[in-house]
Structure 1
C-alpha cells in the first residue's frame, strides 16, 4: 500500500536493536522471520522497516547495491490461489514504484497496467518474474516482507506455497523473504526451504519507543 504518513512521526531510532539485526541478515542475503505475539508491535516494526527506507539504509554498509523492502500483508489476500498471490505482490511493487530507479519504475508501471486484470496464472506469474528479473539486471535487491505468514502457510493450498519456494529459488541472488509471524516454525508445516531459521523476536518496547 502507499506509504502512510504516520511513519514520518516515528524517530529513526525506533526498534533500533531489531532493525540492526534485520539489516544484518538482509545484507548477508539471508531469509528471516520476525516473531511476536499479538499486540507486541511486530506489524509496526515490519511497516517501519518498509515505509522508512532511509532508516533501513542507515543500518546497512555504506557501499551496497540498492535494497528495497516491500510489505505484503497476507491477511489482505482476496483469495488463496497462486494467481491472486502473484497479482497482490505485483500491486505492492507498483504502489512502491517511486522508491525504484526510473528503469524499474517504468517496468513495474507497464507490467502492472498490462496484467492487473488477468485471471491467467501463467501470465500473472510471468509478469512477476519479468519484474524481479529486471531488478536483478539493475542490481537491485528486493525483500518481500510477508506479514501474517504463519496463518497464510497453514491455510493456503500447497501449490501456492510451492510457487513461493520456486520464486525464491529462481531469484536467490536478488530476492529475500521475511516472514512476520506469531509462532515458531515447530508449529508450522515444514517451511525451512522458504523462510530460514534466522529469528528476530519482538518483545516489549523500550521507554523511548513506547512514547511514539
Structure 2
C-alpha cells in the first residue's frame, strides 16, 4: 500500500497553530506544558514535528536544535524506563545500562549530555505525561531534570510535557522554576483539528482501511467534522462507523454515543475533568447560562477546547454524552469553624476536627475562604483581598500569593486525615480552588 499517509508525507501546514506554538517555545529555549484533550492527537503531532521532511525549513528551526522524546508509559513503575529511553535517544549503548540502578542511569545521562556540542539546543519531550506518572516519579525526578539543565554551559536544555488537563501545576517541584512565571503561565493549549486537517484525517483512516478517499461523500465528511469538532479519536471512530454502515447522517446522536469506541473516547475526556468541571458542563446541558463568577472555569474549558467563546460544546457527540452523566456526589463534608481555628471533616455523619494551629493567620484566612467556596474557582485578586485585607490597595504580587498557597499545601501534606479528602488545585492562570475528593 502507498505510504502517502505516513507522517513523513503529512501536509506541511498540518496543525499549524500547534506547531507554531511549540516552535516558538523551542526557539526561545522555554520549557512548557502542552495540554490537550485525551485523544486529540498529541503524540502524532510530535511525530510530525520530528520526522516531517521540510518542517525545519518551513518553521525556521535550526539544525542546532536536537529533539528527543521519552514515552511516559515507560515510567509507570519508576524513572528507570524513562532514563533508559533518553540514553538510547542520545546514542548510548543499550547493553551498557547494567542493572538499571536509577543513580547509575542519572550519572550516565549527565555524562551523555556533557558530550553534546556546546551550541546544541537539546529539547526533551515527554509524551503521555499523566498525573499518575507525575506522582509516581516524584520530587527527585523533577529536581534531577533541573540539575541536568545546569550541566550545559549555556543552560540550553528545555523540557516539553505533553499532558492532559488533570496534570498538577504544583507537582513539578524545583523544575517549575524553568517555566515562565510558573507552570500556569507557560502553557501551550493544543487545538482540535480544523476542517482541512479533519478531512485529511478522514482520508487517512479510509486509506488504512483499504478504501479510496471517495468512499465517503463530501457531505458525509462535513457531517463527521461537525459532529466530532475535529477531535482526532472521535473522527477516527465515526469515520469507521460511517464507512461500515453502522451509522449515517440520520442516526440519532444518543445511538452514536453508545458505540464502544465513541463512548470510550468521550469517557476519557470526561475523566480528565475535575468534579467541578463536570458539574459545570452538566449544568450547561440543562440550560444554565454562565455568570461572571464562572469566568475562571469557563476560561480553562475554552482554552482546553471543550467549549467555544459562546460556551457551546466542541462536539454534539460529546454534548450528548454529557447529557447522560450524573453529577458527582460524595459523602464527605469539610468546613472551617467560625473562628478559623480548626477544620471540621464529616464522613458519614462522623465528625473529626483538625487544628489550624500550624498555619499563620493569613494562611488560615486563605484556606478557610477556599474551603467555604469549595469546588468554585477563586480568582487571585479575590484571594489577595482575603489574605491581605489592609495591603490590598498597595498591590500584592501573584508570587506572594503563590508562596502562601505553597505553604498551605505543605501543611496539608502533613495532615494525612485532611489531605486524603481535600486538595488545593491551581486554576490555570486564574487562581485556585479547593476540591473535596471523598
Q: Deviations over 1:66-88 (max 9, x none)?
A: 1121121111236314x443212
Q: Secondary structure at the match of 1:124?
A: helix
Pick from 72, 77, 80: which aligns with 1:79?
77
Counterpart in the other structure of 2:138: 157
Counterpart in the other structure of 2:12: 12
Give the aligned CA root-mean-square deviation in angstroms: 2.6
Asked whether the 8 Å contact 2:34–2:188 carries over to 1, the reply is yes
Q: Secondary structure at the match of 1:193?
A: helix
Displacement of 1:14 in angstroms is: 0.8
Asked whether the 8 Å contact 2:70–2:82 carries over to 1, the reply is no
Counterpart in the other structure of 2:116: 135
Displacement of 1:186 in angstroms is: 5.4
Displacement of 1:147 in angstroms is: 1.3
1:175 aligns with 2:172: no
Provide the TM-score with structure 2 as the length reference.
0.39
Displacement of 1:185 in angstroms is: 5.9
Asked whether the 8 Å contact 1:33–1:198 carries over to 2, the reply is yes
Asked whether the 8 Å contact 1:66–1:141 carries over to 2, the reply is yes
Provide the TM-score with structure 1 as the length reference.
0.75
Unaligned runs of 5+ in 1: 94-107
Identify the range of structure 1 (31-40 vs 47-56) with the bigger mean alpha-carbon deviation: 47-56
Pick from 195, 215, 219: which aligns with 1:207?
195
Q: Secondary structure at the match of 2:171?
A: coil
**Structure 2 CA distance for partners of 1:84 and 1:173, relative to 1, 3 Å:** same
**Structure 2 CA distance for partners of 1:184 and 1:113, relative to 1, 3 Å:** closer
**Structure 2 CA distance for partners of 1:195 and 1:148, relative to 1, 3 Å:** farther
Q: Deviations over 1:89-139 (max 9, x none)?
A: 11233xxxxxxxxxxxxxx2xx324623343334322221122112243x2
Displacement of 1:180 in angstroms is: 0.4
Counterpart in the other structure of 2:60: 60
Counterpart in the other structure of 1:193: 177
Counterpart in the other structure of 2:86: 89
Displacement of 1:189 in angstroms is: 2.2
Give the number of the structure with larger relative contact order, counting CA–CA contacts within 8 Å between residues 6 or more apart: 1
Matches of 1:53 and 1:127, distance apart in 2: 31
**Structure 2 CA distance for partners of 1:56 and 1:153, relative to 1, 3 Å:** farther
Counterpart in the other structure of 2:340: none
Runs of 4+ in 1 over 4 A off after TM superposition: 184-188
Structure whose alpha-carbon radius of gyration is higher: 2
